[in-house]
Structure 1
Amino acid sequence: MKYIIISLLCLSLWACEDFVEIDPPNTIVTSEVVFDSDETALSAVKGIYNQLYPRAFSSGGENSVTVLAGLSAHTLTNLRVTNLDYIEFKDHALMPDNIRNTALWSSAYNIIYMCNSALEGIRNSSAINEELAQHLEGEVRFIRAFSFFYLVNLYGEVPLTLTTNYQLNASLENSSTEAVYEQILLDLELALAQLPMSYRENDRIYANYYTASALMARVYVYLENWQEADFYSTQLINNSDSYALEEDLDDVFLANSDEAIWQITPRGSGSSMTYTNEGGTFLFHPVLSSLTRVSLSNEFVSNLDTNDLRYQHWVGYHSGTENYYAHKYKDRSSIDNLTEYSMVLRLAEQYLIRAEARARQNDLQGAIADLNMIKNRAGIDLLSTSDPAITQQTLLEEILEERKVELFTEWGHRWLDLKRTGNIDDFFEGDSNWEANDMLYPIPENDLITNPNLLQNPGY
């Protein structure tokens, strides 16, 4: 066990630096030592899951995809006029030296490096049970695919780091978005072949076959392969023994809720704190309200239907500051009282994915049926299944609107949806700062300095 602790410490220290700058630490333990038994292999892979909670991009906290992309999409607004880093995201005036953007980029690559190290360790070890090795490799490949998904959608052409070779990583060129997506699909295809149907330890913080299916469905939506998106989302929806929409909206974000496909546990902090970063970030402190840095934007809230149960259960109002806040998570400060996990993938998204895939394939009635599942739970008017006037375009706009309301403050969905659907220029047409190049974040300045083979995104 001491080897695992030393190795994870080395990875943690390395993770504080840009992935192109660091020299190999001379105290790092080799993969062969770390993966010398089933127990050590399980511990090492569990360590990757634990790192998802404190790492910026996946944390759900102040430097996460959820917050930064929420600012870019104007779902969130900055509460501190002196917080210039946030203002750059909200005003689409990002600079390559923005420290929060650097944290977003670097932390995603931190996780990918850990995945690469684990994959090398699993492949190089003959001491691990073969079935367990397959399962662990599937889990790690899923996490790597997930991390690359956000990098390619936030930054476009990014380095495709697939080894722990420092010298190679430090000189990689930008890979095309097509190449990155090919790797994502390859990792997910292998994960699907390797992962079990059930959750390890019956805990939804670990990846299983259906977790990989859920991400595969999303990837195919982004690639506009509607038939495959339909296929994979249907696998989740049809598995009613494991997954179901929670009837009570207050139950959706509980640990291991029926709706959860994949979650991140606050236990990854390594402390006695048991609240999610989303709870700590979005909920106002009962006494020190100034600790809260972001709130829901008036622009977003003003377009919500007050009769919508999502407004009533997932939007709060802080009278002291006269701000609305995201109230999907209810716990902002618990100690040793774990009730909520950070939600990453959930069944509601799969219904929306299938609705879009069906609409794109001109199965309008099937799309309406899926969309009505979400509307029915929200307590709002259903779409008529017999409306002869509804067009494919009208239905697609309705689906995009439901995605905005259902998935707000979850993993930057709104920002990425506006981009992938080609609606982003129209949405920000009245924004004097908006330029088409703003849809991609800049590659951090430090990485460009240390790796002359990297090219900056246009406009920066």
Structure 2
Amino acid sequence: MKTHHILMAAVLSLTACSKNLEPYNGKSDKTALETPEDLQTATYGVYAGLVDRKYTKNLNQLGEYPGDDVALSGATGDQVFYTYTYTHFPGMGNTEQFWQGAYKVIYSANAIIEKITDGTSAQLDQLKGENLYLRAMAHFDLVRLFGRPYLQGNGNNPGVVIKDNTRDDRPARSSVKAVYDFVISDLQKAAALMTMNKNAAFASKEVAEALLARVYLYMGDNANALKYAEKVISSNRYHLMATQPYKTYFRVVPEENPETIFAIRHTVADDRGKDAIGSMYYNDPVTQSTGWGEVYASVAFVKLLDKYPEDVRHSFIEPQRDGNGNMLKRNQTPIYYINKYNWQEGIANLSSPVILRLAEVYLVRAEANAKLGNDAAAIADVNLIRSRAGLSGNALYTTGNLKGHATVLEVVLEERRLELAFEAHRPYDLFRNNLPMVRAYPGFHGNNQYDLTIQPNDPQVINYIPERETGLNPNLTQNP
């Protein structure tokens, strides 16, 4: 590891506790934010807020476990059981933790944003832009989890609380549309302010633009989704990792990965062992001591991947077999370990979760083009991703041969499923496109362990506002 990476790790670990940046209803130590050096140190602290398990672990589990790419293999004492089985309730600890963690990031960012006047210096503009990005990302993650998909009601459903200040107040929830508008405004300003090309552990202009592309796609503004995806691609700052190294993509630290746009950097000091994201997906097959290994790739996902045995994305799945080659099972659920969150720097459960990467940006562009009727352009981007996965010839699509799919959009959504599996995209992709989530495979789905369908308008598609928060803030209305 390079020297500046070691220094960054030290700063992150120190600033996480040395600055009194409390959740949004606390009091900040604003006297610690007087110099550019103070503001830089405090900004490291905001990034450290993402590393906190309240944010990063729950972000993945709340976003991935409701999908059909994973199979919970049995009852578990972890509250992700309720997330997976769509039996949410207001007192869930994981939603309360995420709400608190996200608003702590937002409050901390606000404390810095309020101290910086635009145009004071390029350094301070950069720091303000980074904090605007972090504030926007946290709001977007919140509204995806607690507000209905944008296109249900055109954004008029209740969203989350917008906090753009450090006042100790009790705001009501804003609409989904208002939250999206706020996120877009923050990201656009962030992109304009940031002029430094920092590595993928930090925000930069292209990081803001990549998130803008995703936000616009989610709200059905395909023209702007296309516009911002092309900005990121044409910047030439990133390129797809080559096929062979891609097999271990997620073991590479983000600042050394040419495809990663933004990741939540975890250093060796941030290893959480069995409390890490990867611990539920994986357990070292040799020692059987590194994780819980209770959530596997679903049989439905594996069958889709197996259509093309040469697809190198098989590298992210580790089927467990006995000495005779038979699949091992837990409670009748085949054990397909997932390793996307394991073995960074050789440590079993260490991972820097990737939030934005170039492959997703290509697929945002593909989906936007498919919805705009630009079929050939959409297919070209899908084939680019498939080619990188080691596929060629008959494994690629043409506009005249969609291989059984009814539309180009179906092709794109299936490729998103294959490429972005386990990265907390799939449930959002289904429900924002008004598609049901169908589990017709073994897993502990609830009363029926082989068949569960959740329609996109189901109330349990989104989470309840945490009970603790509605108790503290009487202006917060609850989701039905």
TM-score (structure 1 length as normaliser): 0.83
Offset of 1:332 from its aligned partner?
6.4
CA–CA distance in structure 2, aligned partners of residues 71 and 388 of structure 1:
33
CA 1:293–1:382 in structure 2 vs 1: closer, same or farther (change >3 Å)? closer
Offset of 1:8 from its aligned partner?
4.3
In the alignment, structure 1 residue 394 sits paired with structure 2 residue 407: yes
Deviates more, 1:40-49 or 1:182-191: 40-49
Contact 2:172 2:476 in 1 (8 A): yes
Q: Which residue of 1 aligns with 2:70?
A: 76
1:370-397 deviation per Cα after TM superposition (whole angstroms, max 9, x unaligned): 1100111223344443517899961101
Offset of 1:349 from its aligned partner?
0.3
In the alignment, structure 1 residue 266 sits paired with structure 2 residue 266: yes
CA–CA distance in structure 1, aligned partners of residues 396 and 294 of structure 2:
38
Offset of 1:228 from its aligned partner?
1.1
1:59-109 deviation per Cα after TM superposition (whole angstroms, max 9, x unaligned): 2x3xx2222322211333334524262221111110110111211222111
Q: Which residue of 1 aligns with 2:210?
A: 214
Offset of 1:450 from its aligned partner?
1.5
Contact 2:247 2:315 in 1 (8 A): yes
Q: Which residue of 2 aligns with 1:350?
A: 361
Letter in 2 for 1:250: K
Offset of 1:271 from its aligned partner?
5.3
Q: Which residue of 1 aligns with 2:288?
A: 287
Counting aligned pairs with the same residue, the percent is 27
* 1:29-40 paired onto structure 2 within 5 Å: 29-30=29-30, 33-40=31-38
Offset of 1:415 from its aligned partner?
0.9
CA 1:439–1:245 in structure 2 vs 1: closer, same or farther (change >3 Å)? same
Q: Which residue of 1 aligns with 2:435?
A: 423
CA 1:123–1:281 in structure 2 vs 1: closer, same or farther (change >3 Å)? farther
What is the root-mean-square deviation in Å for CA atoms of aligned residues? 3.4
CA–CA distance in structure 2, aligned partners of residues 449 and 164 of structure 1:
20
CA–CA distance in structure 2, aligned partners of residues 378 and 315 of structure 1:
14
Offset of 1:446 from its aligned partner?
1.0
Q: Which residue of 2 aligns with 1:118?
A: 112
CA 1:452–1:93 in structure 2 vs 1: closer, same or farther (change >3 Å)? same
Letter in 2 for 1:115: A
CA 1:382–1:425 in structure 2 vs 1: closer, same or farther (change >3 Å)? closer
Contact 1:362 1:392 in 2 (8 A): no
Q: Which residue of 2 aligns with 1:302?
A: 303
CA–CA distance in structure 1, aligned partners of residues 280 and 345 of structure 2:
10
CA–CA distance in structure 1, aligned partners of residues 304 and 110 of structure 2:
44
CA 1:393–1:180 in structure 2 vs 1: closer, same or farther (change >3 Å)? farther
Higher helix proportion (structure 1 or 2): 1
Offset of 1:180 from its aligned partner?
0.3
Letter in 2 for 1:264: I
Q: Which residue of 1 aligns with 2:152?
A: none
Q: Which residue of 2 aligns with 1:409?
A: 422
The secondary structure found in structure 1 opposite 2:247 is helix
Contact 2:49 2:104 in 1 (8 A): no
Q: Which residue of 2 aligns with 1:233?
A: 229
CA–CA distance in structure 2, aligned partners of residues 301 and 330 of structure 1:
19
User: Any stretches of 5+ residues in structure 1 without a counterpart?
Assistant: none
Offset of 1:311 from its aligned partner?
3.9
CA–CA distance in structure 2, aligned partners of residues 331 and 289 of structure 1:
11
CA 1:44–1:23 in structure 2 vs 1: closer, same or farther (change >3 Å)? closer
* 1:148-159 paired onto structure 2 within 5 Å: 148-156=139-147, 157-159=159-161
1:290-332 deviation per Cα after TM superposition (whole angstroms, max 9, x unaligned): 6334322334323322515244211112347641121234416
Offset of 1:356 from its aligned partner?
0.8
Deviates more, 1:257-266 or 1:318-327: 318-327
CA 1:130–1:347 in structure 2 vs 1: closer, same or farther (change >3 Å)? same
CA–CA distance in structure 2, aligned partners of residues 400 and 282 of structure 1:
23
TM-score (structure 2 length as normaliser): 0.80
CA–CA distance in structure 1, aligned partners of residues 232 and 116 of structure 2:
29
Letter in 1 for 2:357: R
Q: Which residue of 2 aligns with 1:105?
A: 99
CA–CA distance in structure 2, aligned partners of residues 242 and 366 of structure 1:
20
CA 1:425–1:445 in structure 2 vs 1: closer, same or farther (change >3 Å)? same
The secondary structure found in structure 1 opposite 2:407 is helix
Letter in 1 for 2:303: S
CA 1:276–1:444 in structure 2 vs 1: closer, same or farther (change >3 Å)? closer
For this pair of structures, how many residues does the alignment match? 430
The secondary structure found in structure 1 opposite 2:460 is helix
Letter in 2 for 1:143: L
CA–CA distance in structure 2, aligned partners of residues 228 and 155 of structure 1:
24
Q: Which residue of 1 aligns with 2:137?
A: 146
Offset of 1:237 from its aligned partner?
1.8
Aligned counterpart for 2:126 among listed residues 135, 148, 167 = 135
The secondary structure found in structure 2 opposite 1:422 is coil
CA 1:421–1:29 in structure 2 vs 1: closer, same or farther (change >3 Å)? same
CA 1:196–1:276 in structure 2 vs 1: closer, same or farther (change >3 Å)? farther
Q: Which residue of 1 aligns with 2:154?
A: none
Contact 2:130 2:202 in 1 (8 A): yes
Letter in 1 for 2:459: N
CA–CA distance in structure 2, aligned partners of residues 49 and 309 of structure 1:
35
CA 1:277–1:195 in structure 2 vs 1: closer, same or farther (change >3 Å)? farther
